[in-house]
């Protein structure tokens, strides 16, 4: 469990007592200990998603504007960038619940994710299960995004995916657009990450790697540059997706 382990490690290195570490991470067993642990886990993921967003996204936006100063994203209005950051900040409050759910499933022994190659059945099994898990995860995201948010009238109305698609041109999109969804919309697209771990014994390290890469990829596909060679669908394809889909 990333949050609990990371917080416990940090507290120990700060000189906290074993009792304090146990209380903060929920091992104390009391209601107050469990409540504190829940808050700490939520805050951990709230900070983690912002770290990827502002550090990774900021570096990416700066790089593309330097390397492609005439690109659409480099000309995106400052006011629009600020709007998308505000919308993302509102949504992050709910997005963080996906990380919290992931941690909770592990703590309750419901997740089948494993924490060592041996636990996964060895390197070959770990690799095979990672591929299976990734396919299930991507299928889940596809069904939510395409089926629920783009096709079903109920989903389109209830979860307001059109808000994200208000940006139609590359000059209306930056890395900050990547997470500017209606909170419930973006959260639903994130749920396949923890839920798919209920099905297969995927290495937890692979889950963390995919989650981080996905966050960066989500921002990249909203800046329009650089294009990827066919048949890969990169930032240029996603601009078309925004333009022709609601």
The mean pLDDT value for 136-159 works out to 94
Give residue 127's domain range.
Answer: 41-244
Per-residue pLDDT at 2: 74
As a whole number of angstroms, the distance between CA 206 and CA 131 comes to 10
Give residue 72's pLDDT band: very low, low, confident or very high (50, 70, 90).
Answer: very high
Asked whether residue 132 is assigned to any structural domain, the reply reads: yes
Strand partners, 114: 203
Instruction: Domain count for the chain, please give it.
Output: 1
Asked whether residue 147 is assigned to any structural domain, the reply reads: yes
Torsion of CA 173, 71, 146, 229, to 10 degrees: -160
Asked whether residue 208 is assigned to any structural domain, the reply reads: yes
Q: Could you tell me if 208 and 2 are in contact, meaning their C-beta atoms sit under 8 angstroms apart?
A: yes
Per-residue pLDDT at 1: 65
Nearest CA-CA partner of 41 in 99, 88, 91: 99
> Structure pTM?
0.90
Asked whether residue 229 is assigned to any structural domain, the reply reads: yes
As a whole number of angstroms, the distance between CA 153 and CA 11 comes to 49
Asked whether residue 96 is assigned to any structural domain, the reply reads: yes
- Tens of pLDDT, residue by residue over 79-125, are 999 999 999 999 999 999 999 999 999 988 999 999 888 999 999 99
Neighbours of 10 (CB within 10 A): 12
Question: Percent of the chain, pLDDT > 70?
Answer: 100
Asked whether residue 7 is assigned to any structural domain, the reply reads: no
Asked whether residue 9 is assigned to any structural domain, the reply reads: no
Q: For residue 218, give both structure tokens.
A: 């989500």
As a whole number of angstroms, the distance between CA 142 and CA 232 comes to 16
Q: For residue 242, give both structure tokens.
A: 């925004």
Asked whether residue 122 is assigned to any structural domain, the reply reads: yes
Query: How does the average pLDDT of the chain come out, rounded?
Result: 92
């Amino acid at each position: 469990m990333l949050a609990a382990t990371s917080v416990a490690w940090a507290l120990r290195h700060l000189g906290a007592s074993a009792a304090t570490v146990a209380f903060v991470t929920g091992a104390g067993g009391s209601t107050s200990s469990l409540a504190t642990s829940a808050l700490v886990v939520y805050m951990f993921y709230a900070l983690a998603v912002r770290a990827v967003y502002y550090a990774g996204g900021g570096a990416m936006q700066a790089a593309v504007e330097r390397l492609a100063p005439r690109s659409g994203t480099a000309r995106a209005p400052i006011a629009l960038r600020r709007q998308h950051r505000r919308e993302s900040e509102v949504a992050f409050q709910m997005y963080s619940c996906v990380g919290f759910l992931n941690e909770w499933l592990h703590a309750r022994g419901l997740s089948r994710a494993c924490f060592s190659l041996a636990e996964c059945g060895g390197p070959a099994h770990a690799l095979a299960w990672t591929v299976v898990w990734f396919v299930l995860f991507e299928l889940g995201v596809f069904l939510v995004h395409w089926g629920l948010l783009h096709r079903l009238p109920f989903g389109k109305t209830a979860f307001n995916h059109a808000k994200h698609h208000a940006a139609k041109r590359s000059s209306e999109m930056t890395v900050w657009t990547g997470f500017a969804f209606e909170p419930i919309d973006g959260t639903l697209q994130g749920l396949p990450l923890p839920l798919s771990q209920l099905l297969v014994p995927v290495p937890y390290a692979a889950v963390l790697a995919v989650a981080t890469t996905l966050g960066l990829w989500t921002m990249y596909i909203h800046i329009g540059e650089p294009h990827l060679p066919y048949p890969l669908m990169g930032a240029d394809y996603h601009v078309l997706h925004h333009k022709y889909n609601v």
